[in-house]
Amino acid sequence: MKKKVVSLTLCIAMVAAMITGCGSTQAAGSAAPAEEATEETATEETAEEAPAEEASGDTINIGVVAPLTGGYALFGESGKNSVELAVKQLNEAGGVLGKQINIVEYVDDKGDSTEAVNAYNRLVSQDISAVVGTFSSSCTIPMAERAQEEGMLLITPSATNAKVTLVGDHIFRACFIDPIQGPMMAKFAYDEGMKKAAVIYAKDDDYSNGLYESISEAWSGFDGAELVYTGECTSKDADFTAQVSQVVASGAEVLFYPFMLDTVPLVVQQAREAGFEGMIVGGDGWDGSETSGIESYFNNTYYTNHYAPEDPAEKVQAYVAAYKEAYGEDTLTSIGACYYDALMMVAQAMETAGSAETEDVVKAMTGMSFEGVTGSFTLDENGDPKKPITFVEFVDGVPTWKANVEAE
């Protein structure tokens, strides 16, 4: 018998767990401002989607949540493609426990926390073993709370806010966390000789808040380092002229902007046009940022990431080659690599457990060691990996692998 779980609105069958997984940042990260999770069922648009494939005794069913539309659709498409790639490779190699992996649905959270909960509810009303998703911290946290309450295994590929896995023992992640990423960003700039720093962060976003806190705390511990300006914005802002003018006036040598790819070109361009010539540093949410037409503004600009496709490591190059052959390179992102690793982590845990039952897979994932595209690591007591962080430099507007640095 498969374990039954109860939601306030749903009575659902819960099955075994599976999947396996992905490193270069963001953080991923986080997306739209966190909204209060609701007990709503799927939206009308979601409800009109094609029904899931019927469960079979010869398959292990998984659900996936990603931002397939909206400002972070690039990450969602990359994640979906990477999961499809992982499933294809697993199934062609004989599957997991002799069964084929089946993704019952890829549900769009639209970068919105309420939609993310609706997506989770839609998936767990079906016969699944685990949920992979989602991209952002603000969307993942309410999903994690529901999954923990119901005993469902949830693994986020890229939500870096520390709160995600603190929800409980059924929640895991494939990415590094902001309390590691932030200090690494700060140390990188300090080691480059920067002493006066400024920060602009989105006050309504879990990802941005988490990185801001960890960056500023780390910076305060460096000898002679000074945080000369802190500016706030929101996730919906497009005009940063007031903040960047303050950055210039403060005499800052480095500007930290811990937020997402859709606003990065705006901040970089407006900072340069305001006269800021110093270093600009971002987190993993910068991956995929558009630089066309403003390539020179991105000189002396860097970000942390989960991996870089130029990394010569065998697993990285095998993944990159397979992805490009199947989907081209326009949607190749580090978040996709994290989705790939997340699925592979679940698959490995199922093989270790000798079972696809959720509780068995949770036990096998707890403290597991894994070698993936985004690095080799062991999960700690919270379900978080301590893994290398990749630093990426923009060279003539092109993100270029600089180095992999072990987390401290």
Segments of 58-210 assigned E as strands:
59-66, 100-108, 130-132, 153-156, 171-173, 196-202
Place of tokens 């989960």: 306
Query: Among all chains, which residue has been given the structure tokens 């520390």?
Result: 162
Helix axes 113-124, 137-150, angle to 10 degrees: 30
- Distance, CA of 213 to CA of 201 (rounded, Å): 10
* CA quadruple 128, 130, 132, 134: dihedral sign: positive
Distances, alpha carbon 82 to alpha carbons 33, 72, 173, 372, in Å: 26, 16, 16, 13
Q: Classify residue 213 by burial, with Cβ atoms within 10 Å: 0-12, 13-18, 19+.
A: middle
Helix pair angle (314-327, 73-92), 10° resolution: 100
From first to last of its 408 residues, the chain has per-residue pLDDT tens of 333 333 333 333 333 333 333 333 333 333 333 333 343 433 334 333 433 344 457 899 999 999 999 989 999 999 999 999 999 999 999 999 999 999 999 999 999 999 999 999 999 999 899 999 999 999 999 999 999 999 999 999 999 999 999 999 999 999 999 999 999 999 999 999 999 999 999 999 999 999 999 999 999 999 999 999 999 999 999 999 999 999 999 999 999 999 999 999 999 999 999 999 999 999 999 999 999 999 999 999 999 999 999 889 999 999 999 999 999 999 999 999 999 999 999 999 999 999 999 999 999 999 999 999 999 999 999 999 988 899 999 999 999 999 888 887
Per-position DSSP letters for 366-389, written without gaps between them: TT-EEEETTEEEEB-TTS-B---E
Question: How many helices (H) and strands (E) in the chain?
Answer: 12, 16
Q: Does domain 179-306+392-405 fall into CATH 3.40.50.2300? A: yes
Contacts of 140 (CB under 8 A, 6+ apart): 116, 133, 134, 156, 159, 161, 164
How many whole angstroms from its chain centre is CA 171?
14
- Could you tell me the pTM of the whole model? 0.82
One-letter amino acid at 291 equals T
CA distances from 368 to 50, 291, 371 (A): 36, 39, 10
**Residues 264, 282: contact at Cβ < 8 Å?**
yes
Rg, Å, the chain Cα set: 20
How do beta strands 130-132 and 59-66 pair?
A: parallel
Q: Which residue has the tokens 């460096």?
A: 222
Residue 158's contacts (CB-CB under 8 Å, 6 or more residues apart) are 25, 26, 27, 28, 29, 75, 135, 136, 173, 174, 175, 284, 306, 335, 338, 339
The pLDDT, as a whole number, for residue 81 is 98
The pLDDT of residue 19 is: 34
Residue 206, helix vs strand vs coil: helix
- Asked whether the beta carbons of 18 and 130 are under 8 A apart, the reply is yes
Residue ranges matching CATH 3.40.50.2300 in the chain: 4-176+313-388, 179-306+392-405
Question: Residue 78 half-sphere exposure, CB side, CA atoms within 13 Å?
Answer: 26
Query: What's the distance, CA 44 to chain centroid?
Result: 27
Q: Please give the C-alpha separations between residue 149 and each of 168, 283, 338, in angstroms, as whole numbers.
A: 9, 31, 25
4-176+313-388: CATH topology: Rossmann fold (3.40.50)
Residue 237, classified by CB atoms within 10 Å of its CB into exposed (0-12), middle (13-18) or buried (19+), is middle
Q: Within its chain, how far is the Cα of 13 from the centroid? A: 28
